[in-house]
Amino acid sequence: VRGPKPLPGALLPEHRIIAYYGNPRSTRMGIMGQVPPDSMLPRLEKVAMEWALADPERKVMPALHLIATVAQRLPGPRKKYRIRMGDGLIDTVASWAEERGWIVFLDIQTGHSTVAEEIEPLLPFLERPYVHLALDPEFAMKSGGVPGRRIGTLDAEDVNHAIEALGDVVTRHQLPPKVLVVHRFTRRMLTNTDSIRLDPRVQVVIQMDGFGSPYIKQDAYRFWISPYPVQYTGFKLFYKNDRDPRTKVPGFEPSCDPMTYELVGCGDDGLMTPEQVIGRLYPVPLYIQYQ
């Protein structure tokens, strides 16, 4: 772990965060919109317990990772190529977490906007001790273009602004340290990582965000995350997209029963298990996200 010594109340490295990602208003962005809350929330609790059993020496903290600013393919009235979720939706998701003692991440896809502009309306939520922040460079179109047609980028300057904003919230409201997650699956998605200024009030996680078979994901982690950890690392697992390409070959037989495979895959054929993630990735990720 790089950076300053954790302050009292810091989540990392004492905990491993296990998050469900998405937006309840869309079935296309992740499990939070694909499964009703009365099924999704118990499922997250069960998954968190699986991680606790795989690594008994580390506490787990379940999290709901809400895409609060969503990139759009149409410019919109302000030509920002993004839409902000209303306070009502954020409050609803936050209440699910708060009543269970969990945490929340508010994820920003800037489109043609900026990190500074999009953090501002989220500050009242970030004043809550259980609410944290995430940035998604994939949809940050600094040089123009339509989000989703090519991969966007953020710079250390953008991350530093987020760190400063979160640090100010922590100081003003006497909160425990915040966690800032930054997605990444190519080098250009996050530039000048050596210039990211770490602050004990904000714990930075760089998360490997690509999908594919376990071997592809492990190689991507070693290539894009291990050499540039910044501080802490994260790893993303896709319920629907983490599949071995051999599954498209006629006659392929998965290494577990077919019904289980159709749901989540198994072992080296599909979704990596907690034991595989912990045993195969270095640095061992302390933030795990399921989409």
Rounded to an integer, the average pLDDT of 104-126 is 99
- Sign (positive or negative) of CA dihedral 30, 33, 38, 39: negative
Q: Going by C-beta distance under 8 Å and a sequence separation of 6 or more, which residues neighbour residue 107? A: 21, 65, 66, 67, 68, 69, 133, 134, 135, 136, 181
Rounded to an integer, the average pLDDT of 117-121 is 98
Confidence check: pLDDT of 243 > 90: no
Q: What is the pLDDT of residues 146-172, one digit of tens each?
A: 999 999 999 999 999 999 999 999 999
Residue 147 tokens read as 């989000």
pLDDT of residue 249: 43
pLDDT of residue 210: 79
- Residue-by-residue DSSP string for 198-212: -BTTEEEEEEE---S
Torsion of CA 232, 204, 93, 170, to 10 degrees: 130
Confidence check: pLDDT of 241 > 80: no
Residue 43: its H or E element: helix 37-54
Please, is 221 exposed, middle or buried when counting C-beta atoms within 10 Å of its C-beta (0-12, 13-18, 19+)? buried
pLDDT of residue 192: 97
Q: How far is CA 110 from CA 63, 81, 104, 193, in A?
A: 22, 8, 19, 19
Q: What is the pLDDT of residues 54-107, one digit of tens each?
A: 999 999 999 999 999 999 999 999 999 999 999 999 999 999 999 999 999 999
Residue 8 tokens read as 């009292």
Q: Which residue type sits at 233?
A: T
CATH topology assigned to domain 15-290: TIM Barrel (3.20.20)
Rounded to an integer, the average pLDDT of 208-229 is 88
Residue 37: its H or E element: helix 37-54
Half-sphere CA count of 138, side-chain side, radius 13 A: 17
pLDDT of residue 270: 73
pLDDT of residue 253: 54
Q: Please state, rounded to an integer, the average pLDDT across all residues of the chain.
A: 92
Q: What is the pTM of this model?
A: 0.91
pLDDT of residue 271: 86
Enumerate the domain spans of the chain: 15-290
Rounded to an integer, the average pLDDT of 173-178 is 99
